[in-house]
């Protein structure tokens, strides 16, 4: 065994999505976000294209993106606009101390399918989640409709052929707010083949 399996399993199973509404006022510092992002870059990447691009907003940097969240929501919501959701995003933008916009820039010579580039970024997000968990930080990967606005893409400086794949919030949960979860037993999601016929 190269690593302690019970620690690894415990980390994977303890990983949770914890929404910003459950974060305390404790700040997430830049050094931690940096560790989270370095680990993100160790995700698998087809053809070593390393398509992930991170736009990290920390501390006072949040003042730039925080107020945009509700604004973008309003731009994208159209008929389905909800004042409650808008207000929630206003509060979220004021409360959160670290947010990474998950971006993608595809391989420039098109060697790798876009689906594979997206999967690589998703794997990077899982590394972010796990590193957050090790720190006792709650991560939250959110993929609102408004992430597809071209205003968002240009705000974070992604090129025309780039994509925004979500917003990854980070925060220390309030005491006792680390949720439990469950998964379907393996037999629901697995078919085994163990013989030759």
Ligand X SMILES: Cc1cc2nc3c(=O)[nH]c(=O)nc-3n(C[C@H](O)[C@H](O)[C@H](O)COP(=O)(O)O)c2cc1C
Distance (Å, whole) CA 31 – CA 18? 21
Nearer to ligand X, 16 or 91 (CB): 16
Q: Is 193 near ligand X (CB under 6 A)?
A: no
Nearer to ligand X, 30 or 89 (CB): 89
Element housing 98 (H / E):
strand 98-104
Nearer to ligand X, 125 or 156 (CB): 125
Q: Is 144 near ligand X (CB under 6 A)?
A: yes
Q: Is 64 near ligand X (CB under 6 A)?
A: no
Q: Is 143 near ligand X (CB under 6 A)?
A: yes
* Residue 20 CB neighbours (<10 A): 23
Nearer to ligand X, 61 or 144 (CB): 144
Q: Is 35 near ligand X (CB under 6 A)?
A: no
| Angle, vertex CA 127, rays to CA 52 and CA 139, nearest 5 | 100
Provide the H-helix boundaries in the chain: 5-14, 30-40, 62-77, 83-95, 114-135, 150-155
Contact 173, 26 (CB under 8 A): no
CA-to-CA separations, 195 to 33, 189, 192, in angstroms, rounded: 47, 19, 9
Q: Which of residues 147-186 bind ligand X (CB under 6 A)?
A: 166, 181
* Residue 149 CB neighbours (<10 A): 17
User: Which of 85, 116, 141, 148 forms a contact with ligand X (CB under 6 A)?
Assistant: 141
Q: Is 142 near ligand X (CB under 6 A)?
A: yes
What's the closest the beta carbon of residue 179 comes to ligand X, in angstroms? 6
Nearer to ligand X, 16 or 95 (CB): 16
User: Which of 17, 30, 41, 64 forms a contact with ligand X (CB under 6 A)?
Assistant: 17
What's the closest the beta carbon of residue 197 comes to ligand X, in angstroms? 38
Q: Is 16 near ligand X (CB under 6 A)?
A: yes
Which of 28, 29, 22 is CA-nearest to residue 178? 22
Distance (Å, whole) CA 37 – CA 42? 9
Binding stretches for ligand X (CB under 6 A): 16-17, 141-144, 166, 181
């Amino acid at each position: 065994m190269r690593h302690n399996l019970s620690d690894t399993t415990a980390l994977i199973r303890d990983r949770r999505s914890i929404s910003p509404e459950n974060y305390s006022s404790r700040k997430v510092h830049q050094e931690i976000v940096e560790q989270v992002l370095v680990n993100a870059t160790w995700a698998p990447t087809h053809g070593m294209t390393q398509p992930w691009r991170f736009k990290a907003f920390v501390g006072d940097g949040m003042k730039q993106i925080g107020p945009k969240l509700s604004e973008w929501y309003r731009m994208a919501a159209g008929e389905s606009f909800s004042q409650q959701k808008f207000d929630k995003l206003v509060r979220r933008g004021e409360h959160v101390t670290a947010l990474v916009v998950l971006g993608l820039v595809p391989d420039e010579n098109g060697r790798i399918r876009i689906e594979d580039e997206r999967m690589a970024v998703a794997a990077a997000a899982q590394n972010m989640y796990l590193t957050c968990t090790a720190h006792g930080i709650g991560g939250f990967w959110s993929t609102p409709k408004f992430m597809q606005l071209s205003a968002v893409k240009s705000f974070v400086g992604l090129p025309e052929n780039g994509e925004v794949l979500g917003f990854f919030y980070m925060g220390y949960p309030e005491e006792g707010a680390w949720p439990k979860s469950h998964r379907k037993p393996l037999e629901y999601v697995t078919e085994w083949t163990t013989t030759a016929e």
